[in-house]
Amino acid sequence: MRTIGRLILSAVVLLLTGLLAAVAIYLPDFFFGFYTNFSKQVLNTLAGITGVFPFAVWEILVVLLVLLALYFLIHNRKFLSWLSGVALLICVLFFAFVALWGLNHFGPSISDRVGLTVTQYSKEQLAAAAGYMADQATLWADQVPREADGSMTTDFDAWAKQANTGYDVLAQENDFFASSKAPVKKLLSGRLFSYMGFTGIFIAYTGESNVNPETFSASLPFTMCHELAHRLTVAAEDEANFCAFLACLENPDPAFQYSGWYSAFVYTYNALYAADRTLAAQVWERAGETLRQDCSRANAHYDQFEGQVQEVAQKANDTYLKVFKEESGVQSYGEVADLLIAWYLASAA
């Protein structure tokens, strides 16, 4: 009877989760009137609590939860009863995730929040934007400290503390960017995340913005700002990338400046390469040698982690994103090019 009761309760929790999603989809005013502020306040409170610990609290909690589940499995010896308990726990955690943060996937776009109009653009406009990003990235590429092999010097701890700076500046013009001052945290399981193809992760349960320390150095400050954007209730990956770009540009540290322009160049160049390889070749020649070397180093860096583990993890991430209305799945990360081009056209007007 206990097993059946747990299964019924699991179904009820899933139904409530579906009702929450329906409210978010069919009542858009729900976000402006309540949810966004609620979500941000809860996340900031959680980040303030977990921020006192120098490590990612959620990683420790996951290990403890797994050990606890194994303990009950060994001592219960009733597999179906144990399995029903695990199913109920998963359903409750999923409900909590959706209630705390997940509904932000259905919320207002960042373009609406910052007053940016995204329109159709020509290949020539795309090339102009990519060229501009190449010029700016080239300018900053030689202003950051470099190692003997030419790669950008990494200072994870200092950058993690400073990553909020750009958002503080943005918040002076737009309250939406105001957030907790809790720093970015280094993933203890960074190597595992490297093989899964993840540079960072935001955990709503603890409000922690986490970054893989093995992320390529030129992308690291940008990635930190990306994960902080999720704590701002920006759920869509392309929009979090755009927020990261804006935050990097407002950060006085040359490492953030370069990382922002470098990332913007990579995204716009890739979009141009897919549209017109001739124009892409012209932009590539326009990029400075240090910038081009960083692009080559990045490819070599991530190639070493490719494999079946990454394929499985990326398929899981793709499914998750599509469930939450990001129809392009993992390809949505690159769709930030649309926002970057709109920003460029607005700035050039």
User: What's the pLDDT tens digit per position in 139-191?
Assistant: 999 999 999 999 999 999 999 999 999 999 999 999 999 988 899 999 999 99
Burial class of 168 by CB neighbour count within 10 A (0 to 12, 13 to 18, 19+): middle
Last-in-domain residue among 106, 128, 145:
106
Q: Which two tokens stand for residue 339?
A: 């926002």
Q: What is the rounded average pLDDT of the residues 194-213?
A: 95
Long-range contacts of 288-294 (CB under 8 A, 24+ apart): 288/134, 288/137, 288/138, 288/141, 288/142, 290/138, 290/141, 290/142, 290/150, 291/134, 291/137, 291/138, 291/141, 291/262, 291/265, 293/150, 294/141, 294/151, 294/152, 294/218, 294/262
Last-in-domain residue among 59, 86, 106:
106
In this structure, the answer to whether residues 185 and 38 fall within a common structural domain is: no
In this structure, the answer to whether residues 101 and 119 fall within a common structural domain is: no
In this structure, the answer to whether residues 78 and 166 fall within a common structural domain is: no
In this structure, the answer to whether residues 52 and 166 fall within a common structural domain is: no
Q: What is the pLDDT of residue 25?
A: 84
Q: What is the rounded average pLDDT of the residues 186-202?
A: 93
Number of domains in the chain: 2
What pTM was estimated for this model as a whole? 0.93
For 278-296, what is each residue's pLDDT tens digit?
Answer: 999 999 999 999 999 999 9
Q: What is the pLDDT of residue 331?
A: 47
Q: What is the pLDDT of residue 348?
A: 76
In this structure, the answer to whether residues 94 and 126 fall within a common structural domain is: no
Cβ atoms of 221 and 248 closer than 8 Å: yes
Task: Give the helix ranges, DSSP H, for 101-144.
Answer: 110-114, 123-141
Q: Residue 323 sits in which domain range? A: 110-348
In this structure, the answer to whether residues 207 and 317 fall within a common structural domain is: yes
Q: What is the rounded average pLDDT of the residues 61-78?
A: 85
In this structure, the answer to whether residues 235 and 321 fall within a common structural domain is: yes
In this structure, the answer to whether residues 128 and 37 fall within a common structural domain is: no
In this structure, the answer to whether residues 101 and 127 fall within a common structural domain is: no
The position carrying tokens 């934007």 is: 129
In this structure, the answer to whether residues 227 and 157 fall within a common structural domain is: yes
Sign of CA dihedral 39, 40, 44, 47: positive
For 206-261, what is each residue's pLDDT tens digit?
Answer: 999 999 999 999 999 999 999 999 999 999 999 999 999 999 999 999 999 999 99
In this structure, the answer to whether residues 97 and 115 fall within a common structural domain is: no
In this structure, the answer to whether residues 90 and 236 fall within a common structural domain is: no
Q: What is the pLDDT of residue 137?
A: 98
Query: How many Å apart are CA 313 and CA 212, to the nearest integer?
Result: 15
For 299-336, what is each residue's pLDDT tens digit?
Answer: 999 999 888 877 777 777 777 667 666 665 444 445 88
For 13-54, what is each residue's pLDDT tens digit?
Answer: 999 999 988 888 888 777 766 888 899 999 999 999 999 999
Q: What is the pLDDT of residue 329?
A: 46
Last-in-domain residue among 78, 106, 134:
106
For 99-139, what is each residue's pLDDT tens digit?
Answer: 999 999 888 889 989 989 888 889 999 999 999 999 999 99
